[in-house]
Amino acid sequence: MACLTVAACHDDPKEGPPTGPTKSASTVVIRGAVLDWSNAPLAGAQVTGTAGTQATQMTGADGRFDLGSFDATIRQVRIDIIKAGFVPQATHIAINSSVIDTVIKLRPMEPLPLDGTITRDLLPSDPSDYVGEAYESDYSWNTRYYVFTAQSDEVVVDLDWDHAATPTLKMWAMAGALVSKAEGTHEVLSLPRGQSGILLVSKPYDGGALTRAVRFTLTVR
């Protein structure tokens, strides 16, 4: 599941072995791969593991990372991943063996132009997601992500789409606190001034997942 907040900036470490505890009988090795949504490896993703201690590494050309050894008595490791052009992700993994080799997929994200228009397709293969806290909020079957930066004035986003392909699309922002409202055949959402975050264009739960691509247009003013 995506972490729908904009991550704080981190200094990019050089690729290479992380600094962490040495391996012993009570440690667990954490390694794995970072992929995009089409299962292609992602190089240059910053991966941080936390389980009592912390280690950070950049993925190689094959998308692989090896964070070294952690204290296995912690029972759970948190893995945070940051990569430009993708939604930041936090994943918790139970420690149940001496070696954990995990695969984590990142959701693609585009910058939202704050004065202009973009047209894209929402696809049946686009990821599903919870809006806000998992299991306590709205659910989207198919989702596209757009990051926006703080502005001095309120920004209004207008969503229009091919209604013949699906009767309903919605927008969410600020971890589900803001939800678009219908205005005629469009959906409109106002982004507050001074705020940064992620805007979601989604097929809401009602009506089921997409079975065909839906062309949509975002107009920002």
Confidence at residue 15, expressed as pLDDT on a 0 to 100 scale:
45
CA–CA separation, 63 and 47 (whole Å) = 11
> Is 210 within 8 Å of 142 (Cβ atoms)?
yes
pLDDT in tens, 104-146: 999 999 999 988 999 999 999 999 998 866 555 688 999 999 9
- Provide the 3-class DSSP secondary structure of residue 66: strand
Task: Output the pLDDT for position 135.
Answer: 52
Q: Helix, strand, or coil here: 7?
A: coil
pTM exceeds 0.85, yes or no: no
CATH 2.60.120.380 fits 109-220, yes or no: yes
Q: List, for the chain, all residue ranges whose pLDDT scores fall below the cut of 70.
A: 1-25, 132-137
The per-residue pLDDT for 127 is 94
Domain boundaries, the chain: 27-105, 109-220
| C-beta of residue 18 within 8 angstroms of C-beta of residue 67 | yes
- 10 burial (CB, 10 Å; 0-12 / 13-18 / 19+) is exposed
Sign of CA dihedral 83, 36, 170, 146: positive
Asked whether 97 and 131 are in contact (CB, 8 A), the reply is no
Half-sphere exposure of 138 (CA within 13 A, CB side): 23
Fold type of domain 27-105: Immunoglobulin-like (2.60.40)
